[in-house]
């Protein structure tokens, strides 16, 4: 009976230990780059993510997924995630940083903690965007498949995500846009919280009035209207039919004028 009890106790200890340790896990101090932190948010938002690996300098990443969901697949030592990371790291060693949603990197304050993606609610109330954020918004709108655009409540910082493939199959883009915005805000010393401002080409900020900082169209200035769906794709086609060449200043001004 005593031996049986100790056998059960040992199994419980081993099971608990598996949640916070991993043979391929890294150890020691590490600081993830903003880009890698952003990708980690995307990984956390993906219910199929099982391993997240980072290079020992914190500049590169790789992850693996299980289409059946977390806990349903077996991947010895996170080999796929490590291989993906090492393919980007240019020779810098990679180690496992997280298994499922738990940080397994040893020797840091977050070791053993379960992480969740950051909240990414829609913003609300009057907001004034700086000219820099307006310019960033125009770059976002110019993407073929823009997904999420986030701004800080003081209107001075922004972050966005877009999709490289159609249909877009990348989870976590919403959270990543907010994370990038808040990282930019912290870098500027503002520490202003960020919220979702636009989804695809539609402004979704609630109780939105008008942007006091105008968009410049040559010598003209026009504000972006609240909740307006910016039909940029049609505008691009119309401008091409009018003879404007894509990726030229004249083409950009034509598109802006048509979507106002």
Nearest by Cα to 61 from 46, 39, 80: 39
The tokens describing 15, both together, are 């099971």
pLDDT for 259: 65
Q: What is the 3 state secondary structure string of the chain?
A: CHHHHHHHHHHHHHHHHHCCCCCCECECCCCCCHHHHHHHHHHHHCCCEEEEEEECCCCCEEEEECCCCCCCCCCHHHHHHHHHHHCCCCCCCEEEEEECCEECCECCCCCCCECCCCCCCECECCCCCCHHHHHHHHHHHHCCCEEEEEEECCCCCEEEEECCCCCCCCCCHHHHHHHHHHHHHHHCCCCCCEEEEEECCEECCECCCCCCCCEEECCEEECCCCCCECCHHHHHHHHHHCCCCCCCHHHHHHHHHHHC
Q: How many residues does the chain have?
A: 260
- Environment class of residue 106 by beta-carbon count within 10 Å: exposed (0-12), middle (13-18) or buried (19+)? middle
Find out whether 162 and 147 touch, Cβ atoms under 8 Å.
yes
Sequence ranges of the domains in the chain:
23-117, 131-229
The answer for residues whose C-beta is within 8 angstroms of residue 144's C-beta and 6 or more apart is: 162
Residue 17 has a CB neighbour count (10 Å cut-off) of 10
pLDDT for 14: 34
pLDDT for 20: 52
Per-residue pLDDT 10s for the chain (260 aa) are 443 433 333 333 333 344 456 778 999 999 999 889 888 888 888 888 899 999 999 999 999 988 877 777 777 778 999 999 999 999 999 999 999 889 999 999 999 998 887 778 899 988 889 999 999 999 999 888 899 999 999 999 999 999 877 667 666 788 889 988 988 998 888 888 999 999 998 899 987 654 444 444 344 334 444 344 445 667 777 777 777 887 777 777 777 766 66
Contacts 24+ apart (CB under 8 A), 160-165: 160/136
CA dihedral 40, 44, 49, 55 (to 10 degrees): 20
pLDDT for 105: 96
């Amino acid at each position: 009976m005593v031996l049986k009890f100790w056998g059960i106790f040992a199994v419980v200890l081993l099971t608990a230990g598996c949640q916070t340790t991993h043979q391929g896990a890294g150890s020691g101090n590490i600081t993830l780059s903003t880009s890698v932190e952003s990708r980690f948010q995307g990984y956390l938002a993906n219910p199929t993510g099982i391993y997240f690996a980072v290079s020992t300098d914190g500049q590169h990443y790789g992850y693996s997924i299980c289409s059946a969901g977390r806990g349903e697949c077996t991947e010895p030592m996170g080999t796929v995630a490590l291989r993906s990371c090492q393919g980007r790291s240019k020779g810098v060693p990679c180690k496992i940083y997280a298994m499922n949603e738990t940080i397994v990197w040893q020797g840091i304050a977050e070791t053993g903690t379960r992480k969740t993606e950051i909240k990414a609610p829609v913003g609300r109330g009057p907001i004034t965007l700086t000219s820099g954020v307006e310019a960033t918004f125009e770059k976002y709108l110019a993407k073929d498949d823009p997904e999420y655009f986030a701004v800080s409540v003081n209107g001075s910082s922004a972050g966005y995500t877009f999709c490289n493939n159609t249909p877009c199959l990348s989870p976590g883009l919403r959270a990543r846009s907010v994370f990038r915005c808040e990282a930019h805000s912290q870098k500027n010393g503002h520490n202003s919280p960020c919220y979702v401002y636009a989804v695809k080409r539609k402004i979704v900020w609630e109780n939105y009035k008008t942007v006091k900082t105008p968009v410049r169209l040559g010598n003209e200035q026009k504000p972006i209207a609240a909740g307006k769906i910016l039909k940029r794709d049609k505008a691009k086609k119309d401008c091409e039919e009018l003879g404007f060449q894509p990726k030229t200043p004249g083409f950009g001004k034509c598109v802006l004028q048509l979507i106002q």
